[in-house]
């Protein structure tokens, strides 16, 4: 009557990597000027002017406005406005998205109504210049003033 199924796969679904999901949000009405680097996913709904080198996903939301000479990220989704060149493994421009700049990518997709004023260059491989600094290693005992004998 009740039989145990032998073919049941108990392998859990893989959890998306941190770079594949949004971990930070810059909200609507926020203005930021500077440099954005790091790992993980970022969603911009405000105004950003500066440099972006992101080892992860960048989403420019429908209210987002980005001005960046050379935007670099693993994946870029544009539903707002980007002024500047985009280099990424995957680029998607949504129907409300507007891009003024050249796009260099492995994979490209658009929705009907998307706008691009620039050229698309599709490559077999892309080297992103993402130099993410690693956290400093813990200081050794010598860096903290030497041995216990020298501490009084």
Domain, as residue range, for 102: 18-121
Q: Is residue 67 included in any domain, yes or no?
A: yes
Structural domain includes residue 74: yes
Please indicate, yes or no, if residue 139 is contained in any of the structural domains: no
Residue 13 lies in a domain: no
Task: For residue 7, tell me if it sits in a domain.
Answer: no
- Give 12's contacts (C-beta < 8 A, 6+ positions apart): none
* Distance (Å, whole) CA 142 – CA 150: 11
Q: What are the pLDDT digits (tens) for 95-117?
A: 999 999 999 999 999 999 999 99
Calculate the average pLDDT of the chain: 82
137 confidence band (pLDDT: 50, 70, 90): very low
Is residue 101 a part of any domain in this protein? yes
What phi and psi values does residue 142 have, to the nearest 5 degrees?
A: -65, -35
119-151 core/surface letters (b: 16 or more CB in 10 A; e: else): eeeeeeeeeeeeeeeeeeeeeeeeeeeeeeeee
42 within domain boundaries:
yes
pLDDT at residue 150 is higher than 70: no
Confidence (pTM): 0.74
How many domains would you assign to the chain? 1
Q: What is the pLDDT of residues 19-69, one digit of tens each?
A: 578 899 999 999 999 999 998 899 999 999 999 999 999 999 999 999 999
Give the separation between CA 113 and CA 36, rounded to whole angstroms: 29
- Domain presence at residue 110: yes
């Amino acid at each position: 009557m009740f039989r145990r199924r032998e073919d049941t796969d108990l392998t859990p679904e893989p959890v998306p990597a941190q770079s594949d999901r949004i971990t930070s949000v810059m909200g609507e009405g926020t203005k930021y000027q500077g440099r954005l680097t790091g790992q993980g996913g970022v969603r911009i709904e405000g105004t950003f002017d500066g440099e972006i080198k992101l080892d992860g996903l960048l989403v420019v939301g429908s209210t987002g406005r980005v001005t960046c000479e050379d935007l670099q990220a693993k994946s870029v989704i544009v539903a707002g406005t980007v002024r500047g060149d985009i280099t990424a493994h995957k680029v998607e421009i949504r129907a409300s998205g507007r891009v003024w700049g050249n796009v260099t990518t492995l994979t490209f997709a658009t929705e009907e109504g998307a706008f691009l004023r620039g050229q698309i260059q599709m490559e077999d491989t892309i080297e992103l210049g993402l130099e993410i600094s690693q956290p400093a290693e813990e200081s050794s005992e010598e860096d903290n003033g030497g041995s216990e004998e020298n501490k009084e």
